[in-house]
Copies of this chain bind each other. A is one copy, B any other.
Amino acid sequence: MTGSETRWLDADQQQNWRAFIVGSTLLMDTLDRELRQAHGVSMAEYEILVRLSESPDRTLRMAEIADSMQHSRSRVTHTVSRMEKAGLIRREAASGDKRGVDAVMTPEGWALLEAAAHTHVTGVREHFVDVAPRADFDAMGRVMNAVSDQLLAANPCFEDIR
C-alpha cells in the first residue's frame, strides 16, 4: 500500500475529491438532521428499519444488519439496544443457532418507518437525486460500486478489521 514515489493528484482530481468529502458530509448531516427533527431517529436507525422492513418476517440477524450496513457488530448492538428501549425493535433468540439474536421490527417501528420514509425520500431527492442529471448520477453510482468492490475484494473478511 505504501510504496515508492507518491503519485500526487492533479488539480481536477484534487477538486473532485474535495467536492466529495464536503458534499457527502453536508448531505449526510442534513438528511440525519431532518430525520431527527421530524421523527427522532438517526439515519443509522432509519436504515436499520428499512432493512428490517424488506426482510421476511421483518426480522434480521444482528450480523446481517452489521454486514449490510458496514457497521461494526458492537455498533449494531448499541444502536439496536437504544431502538429496543424506544420500542422500535424487539430482540429474540435466533431459531437454530443459540448464539444468534434476531432483531424484529415492532408495529411501532413499522409505523415510524412509514412516517419517516416520506421525509427521508423527499430529502434524498431534493438534496441529491434531483440536483444533477441522471447520467451523472448513474456515473456516481458506478464509481461508488467500484469503490465498494475494490475495498471488499481487498479485504475478504472486512469485519475482522473493524
Contacts and interface: CB of A to CB of B under 8 A. Distances in A.
Copy number in the complex reads: 2
A151 to B, nearest CB: 5
Given A117-B6, A146-B132, A151 B17 contact: no
A77 interface: no
A24 B26 contact: no
Given A16-B137, A34-B1, A137-B16, A9 B129 contact: yes
Interface in A107-157: 117-119, 121-129, 131-132, 135-152
What's the dominant secondary structure at chain A's contact region? helix
B138 A12 contact: yes
Given A6-B122, A22-B148, A27-B151, A17 B129 contact: yes
A145 B129 CA distance: 13
A131 B118 contact: no
* Size bin of chain A's contact surface: 35 or more
Nearest to A13: B129
Contacts of A137: 13, 16, 143
A1 to B, nearest CB: 6
Contact of A135 (B139, B148, B150): B139
Contact of A143 (B22, B136, B158): B136
B131 A146 contact: yes
Contacts of A20: 24, 128, 140-141, 144
B22 A70 contact: yes
Contact of A70 (B29, B121, B162): B29
Nearest to A143: B132
